[in-house]
Structures are given as structure tokens and as C-alpha cells.
Chain A
């Protein structure tokens, strides 16, 4: 069964450094999403992406964040200058259409020191 994959599974970085989290959505999916889950808290929406542009973003998704689909298979989330409070599990998701179920990847656990 096709699945969303994410790399790396874990990343440790110093405050102020840039990180790029990578996702490979399911191959025939056209809609892509990032969510995050701070330890012990709710899963929160960050951004949705379709047709090479952001469709919707939350208030969390400020100028420090960006997303990109650099080729036909990858979908990336970049954090330009990480803060301690960016430490969280980041989930990528994809769906075939805007109305269909979103399938989530296994997550990248980011720790900012």
C-alpha cells in the first residue's frame, strides 16, 4: 500500500540554524500539508500546498517557514532560523484531491537546542 515517507526521522539542531524537513507524498496525490505536534500537545495545522503554491496557512506558519516542491516527488518544509519552541514532531500529509482523506507520514522529530 502506498504511503507517505519522511526524512530524517530525527533531527537535532542548534538554535538559529536552518533545517529542511523532507517528505515524499503518495505518488498520485496533488494536495500536500504540514502539521506539527509539540510534545504532549495537539496536532496543529501549519500549511497546505497545491499547484505549486500555498493554499492556506496558520498563524504558526510565519516568515521563518517556507515550503517547496522542488521536483516531482519531494515536498519540503524549511525553517530558516530555528527557535527552541520549534521543537516538535512534524508530520507531512497528502491527499489525492482537496476533498479526500489526508494520509500522514511517520513524522520527523525535531529538537532545537
Chain B
């Protein structure tokens, strides 16, 4: 079945460090890919998305590129801030009606000053 795998956390970085959170997927067909973020005590927010191969999603300094050949959608940010501390979920959704979002297990990021 369709699934998402993410790098294990927690990840701890110093402020201004470079961030990469790896994400790979397994899907029959070509899904849309997403990164959602969950700040402490809050709900899920869409961070960025890409709907087809080679698309790059970006938002708030975060980027991820849809790589069909490696079935990956790694999240990157050049310089993290303390306010980026959150849990990041990679997710996919097949492009058929009614279909569910399938989430990865989440990666917890802590950024220390």
C-alpha cells in the first residue's frame, strides 16, 4: 500500500544551522506530496506542497523538491530559528477523489539558541 517514511527524530540543531529532514514515499501512481508542521500545543498546518515530479514547494524559507526517480521529498531550510521548533510531517495523497492524506510518523525538531 501507499506509505511515507521519515528520518527518525528528535533532531536538535543550533540556531542558523542547515536543516534537512528526509522523506521517502511508496505509492502506486504519482501522488501529491506535502509537508505539514505541528507547533507545540497546536494543530496541523500545511507548510508546503508539490503536485508533480520536479515541482519545488517553498514557504517560510523551507523548500522541498518532488523527486520521482528517488521517490523522495526532503525538507530543507538554510538557517533555522528557535521558532521553527515543531514536529514536521511528510505526507502524500493520491489524486483521486475522496482519498485520505497518508502521514509519515513525524520528525521532532528542536532549535536551541
Where the two chains meet, the residues of A that have a C-beta atom closer than 8 Å to any C-beta of B are: 6, 31, 33, 35, 41-45, 48, 50, 55-56, 58, 89, 91, 93, 97-99, 101-107
Residue of B36, B98, B106 touching A55 (CB-CB under 8 A)? B98
Contact of A104 among B45, B97, B100 (CB under 8 A): B45
Stretch at the interface among B17-25, B60-68, B78-86, B88-96: B88-96
Q: For residue B42, which residues in chain A have a CB less than 8 angstroms away from its CB?
A: 106-107
Interface of A is mostly: strand
Contact status of A98 and B44, CB under 8 A, knowing A42-B105, A42-B106, A104-B36: no
| B30 located at the interface, meaning its Cβ lies under 8 Å from any Cβ of chain A in the complex | no
Number of interface residues of B (CB under 8 A): 23
Instruction: Flag if A42 contacts B103 (CB, 8 Å).
Output: yes
A103 to chain B, nearest CB (A): 7
B95 touches A105 (CB 8 A): no
The CA of A99 and the CA of B49, in the complex, are separated in Å by 13
A26 to B43, CA, bound (A): 16
Instruction: Indicate which residue in A42, A56, A91, A103 contacts B100 across the interface (CB closer than 8 Å).
Output: A56
Contact, CB under 8 Å: A103 / B46: yes
The residue of chain A having its C-beta at the shortest distance from the C-beta of B36 within the complex is A104
> Can you list 29 A-B pairs with a CB-CB distance of less than 8 A?
A33-B100, A35-B101, A42-B103, A43-B44, A43-B89, A43-B101, A43-B103, A44-B103, A45-B102, A48-B98, A48-B99, A55-B97, A56-B98, A56-B100, A93-B101, A97-B97, A98-B96, A98-B97, A98-B98, A98-B99, A99-B95, A99-B96, A101-B32, A101-B46, A102-B101, A103-B46, A104-B44, A104-B46, A106-B43
CB–CB A99/B97 < 8 A: yes
Q: Which of B43, B45, B104 contacts A42 (CB 8 A)?
A: B104
